[in-house]
Amino acid sequence: MAIFLHKDLPTEEPYPKAKARQVAGSKLGNVSLTISEVTLQPGGRIPLHIHPGHEEAVLIVEGTVDAVLGDETRTVTAGATVVAPQGVKHSIVNNSNRQARIMGCFPTVNVTREFV
C-alpha cells in the first residue's frame, strides 16, 4: 500500500493557468491506473482532445467548470463526474472567477491523448 500527500507531489503546468500533478500512476508505482489532479485558475482550460485507447472519468472536486463532451457543453459544479468514452472529444474550461479543481481518472498507466 502507498499513501501520498498531494501537496508533497511535484506539479507541472501542462497548459496556461493549469497546474497538474499525478496522484496515482506509473510515476508512483501503479501498473494499471492513472489519476491526475488538475487545478484550473479562472480562464484556464484543458484543450479539446480525445483518448484513442481508453476512457476518462473527470471528477469535479472544487468550483464550477464548463464541460464539453462530444457536441454538448454543460456547466457542472463540485460533486459532478464527466465520463468521456474512448474516442469522444472533451474539454474542461474554467469560465468562473474562482479556482476549480478536478481529478482525471484513467484505467491505464499509458494515457494517450490527441488534440482536436
Pick the CATH number of 11-115 from 3.40.50.620, 1.10.3720.10, 2.60.120.10, 3.40.980.10: 2.60.120.10
Residues in the chain: 116
> How is the chain split into domains, by residue range?
11-115
- Grid cell digits, residue 115: 488534440
Nearest CA-CA partner of 7 in 39, 55, 50, 30: 39
- pLDDT (0 to 100) of residue 107: 99
Alpha-helical regions (H) of the chain: none
Whether the Cβ atoms of residue 108 and residue 34 lie closer than 8 Å to each other: yes
- Grid cell digits, residue 101: 479543481
- pLDDT (0 to 100) of residue 45: 98
pLDDT by residue for the chain (116 residues), tens only, comes to 789 999 999 999 999 999 999 999 999 999 999 999 999 999 999 999 999 999 999 999 999 999 999 999 999 999 999 999 999 999 999 999 999 999 999 999 999 999 99
